[in-house]
């Protein structure tokens, strides 16, 4: 019997290449079959994995807030839009108010942004009302989730992760999960990657996005305040020695409560008193924003054009004439008038 030729290194390479070619051909066939029957799910699965690498914060889910101790430092009570709360900071501050939004900058370096969303039905209903999407298609994907409370909808959003996207599951469920994942990536505040926490207090519950020991920004989503929800952002000025602490955040959470409704706040009063703006010269809908600075006596000290849509005709004299108006309702409407207020008003 003839002795078989020895297997040389070159022959082993050729055998390995032949084996790899066979494996590759098998994988191609498997991918083609998968694409035929699971094409959409495979695409969604790969998109979820890409998103996980691009936006690591989508892996973060809320954990129970364990530290509930509160700061006892001297503080300031702020009241806006039917709500009041304490912040453990004092001293000079600058306030800016707009429709359902207030921003307060303390001289010590901390800032607060307080917002009462106009739509209290939750982000899914915002999505369904967006003209970019079909309400029927959103209803087909999310079903009765659109009827859930805003808190339940936010809980669903914050708890979705790339691991929920399964390449071999229901196509509807895969589409639902990837849409939630996209919204989580888009809406995620900068502090989310440092941590997310859920809290339960006697009169409210919600979420804290951001760990103050690792982030200069913390976002609070507070639910069930008189049947509504509010959003509050705390920011420590970049480069400031004053950092946010959990006890300071807890001071806000433990003191926020509904307050007696006041008279219409400044944007409503000022907007009605300002002169009517000229129409867009093209006849299309125009948009502009003005800032109105008001001193402690309720007198307008400065009116400035902030933004205007293209082709809108703006009368500089109309802006200047607004400074001659005194708004007597303002001190009663907005309470704290110890410093100049700046109001941003949309037209």
> Is there a contact between 96 and 102 (Cβ–Cβ < 8 Å)?
yes
What is the token pair recorded at 233?
A: 């952002």
pLDDT tens digit sequence for 235-265: 998 877 788 999 999 999 999 998 875 544 5
- Record the tokens describing residue 306, joined without a space: 């902030």
pLDDT band at 79; cut points 50, 70, 90:
confident
- What local confidence, expressed as pLDDT, does residue 328 receive? 43
Each residue's pLDDT tens digit, 15-50: 444 544 554 555 455 445 555 445 666 777 777 778
Q: Look at residue 80 in the predicted model and tell me its pLDDT.
A: 85
pLDDT at 113: 93
Higher pLDDT, 287 or 51: 51
Residue 207: the pLDDT is 96
3-state secondary structure the chain: CCCCCCCCHHHHHHHHHHHHHHHHHHHHHHHHHHHHHHHHHHHHHHHHHHHHHHCHHHHCCCEECCCCCCCCCCCEEEEECCEEEEECCCCCEEEEEECCEEEEEECCCEEEEEECCCCCCCHHHHHHHCCCCCHHHHHHHHHHHHHCCHHHHHHHHHHCCHHHCCCCCCHHHHHHHHHHHHHHHHHCCCCHHHCEEEEEECCEEEEEECCCCCCCEEEEEEEEECCEEEEEEEEECCCCCCCCCHHHHHHHHHHCEECCCCCCCHHHHHHHHCCCCCCECCCCCCCEEEEEEECCCCEEEEEEEEEECCCECCCHHHHHHHHHCECCCHHHHHCCCCCCEEEEEEC
Alpha carbon distance 151, 120 (integer Å)? 10
Q: What domains are there in the chain, each with its CATH number? A: 79-116+203-258 (no CATH), 266-346 (3.30.2420)
Q: Residue 200: what pLDDT?
A: 93
Provide the 10 A C-beta neighbour count for residue 281: 10
Please state the φ and ψ torsions of residue 61, each to the nearest 5 degrees: -125, 155
Contacts of 34 (CB under 8 A, 6+ apart): 42
Measured CA to CA, the distance from residue 284 to residue 267 in angstroms comes to 24
- Buried b vs exposed e over 238-252: b needs ≥16 C-beta within 10 Å? eeeeeebbbbbbbbb
Higher-scoring residue by pLDDT: 325, 43: 43
More confident residue, 77 or 302: 77
How confident is the model at residue 150, as a pLDDT? 92
Q: Quick check: 114 and 230 in contact, CB under 8 A?
A: yes
pLDDT band (50, 70, 90) for residue 318: low
Q: In this predicted structure, what is the pLDDT of residue 334?
A: 47
Position 214 scores a pLDDT of 92
pLDDT higher than threshold 90 for residue 169: no
Spatial neighbors of 37 by CB under 8 A, at least 6 apart, are none
Dump pLDDT digits (tens) for 185-214: 888 888 899 999 999 998 899 999 999 999
Angle at 326 between CA 323 and CA 331, to 5 degrees: 125
| Average confidence (pLDDT) over 144-153 | 90
% of the chain with per-residue pLDDT over 70: 63
What is the C-alpha to C-alpha distance for residues 83 and 134, in angstroms, rounded to an integer? 35
The whole-number pLDDT of residue 23 equals 47
Q: Look at 69-83, 111-125, 215-229, 303-317 and tell me which has the smallest mean pLDDT.
A: 303-317
Which pLDDT score, from 0 to 100, does residue 93 have? Answer: 77
Give yes or no for residue 271 having a pLDDT over 80.
no
């Amino acid at each position: 019997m003839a002795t078989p030729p020895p297997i040389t290194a070159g022959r082993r390479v050729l055998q390995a290449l032949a084996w790899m070619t066979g494996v590759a051909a098998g994988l191609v066939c498997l991918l083609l079959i998968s694409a035929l029957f699971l094409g959409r799910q495979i695409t969604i699965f790969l998109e979820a994995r890409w998103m996980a690498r691009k936006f690591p914060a989508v892996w973060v889910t809320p954990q129970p807030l364990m530290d509930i101790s509160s700061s006892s430092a001297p503080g300031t009570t702020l009241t806006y839009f039917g709500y009041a709360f304490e912040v453990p900071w004092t001293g000079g501050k600058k306030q800016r108010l707009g429709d359902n939004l207030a921003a307060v900058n303390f001289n010590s370096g901390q800032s607060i942004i307080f917002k009462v969303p106009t739509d209290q039905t939750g982000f899914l209903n915002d999505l369904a009302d967006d003209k970019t999407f079909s309400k029927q298609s959103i209803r087909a994907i999310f079903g009765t989730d659109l009827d859930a409370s805003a808190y339940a909808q936010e809980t669903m959003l914050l708890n979705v992760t790339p691991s929920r996207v399964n390449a071999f599951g229901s196509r509807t469920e895969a589409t639902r999960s990837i849409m939630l994942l996209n919204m989580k990536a888009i809406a995620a505040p900068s502090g989310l990657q440092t941590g997310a926490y859920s809290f339960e207090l006697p009169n409210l519950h919600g979420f804290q996005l951001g760990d103050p020991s690792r982030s200069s920004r913390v976002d609070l989503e507070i639910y069930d305040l008189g049947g509504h929800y509010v959003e509050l952002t705390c920011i420590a000025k970049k480069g400031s020695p004053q950092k946010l602490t959990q006890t300071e955040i807890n001071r806000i959470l433990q003191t926020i409560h509904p307050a007696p409704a006041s008279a219409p706040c400044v944007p409503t009063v000022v907007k009605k008193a300002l002169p009517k703006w000229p129409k867009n010269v093209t006849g299309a809908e125009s948009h502009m924003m003005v800032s109105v600075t008001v001193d402690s006596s309720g007198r307008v000290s400065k009116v400035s054009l902030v933004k205007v849509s293209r082709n809108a005709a703006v009368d500089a004299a109309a802006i200047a004439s607004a400074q001659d108006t005194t708004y007597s309702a303002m001190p009663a409407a907005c309470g704290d008038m110890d410093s100049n207020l700046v109001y941003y008003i949309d037209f």
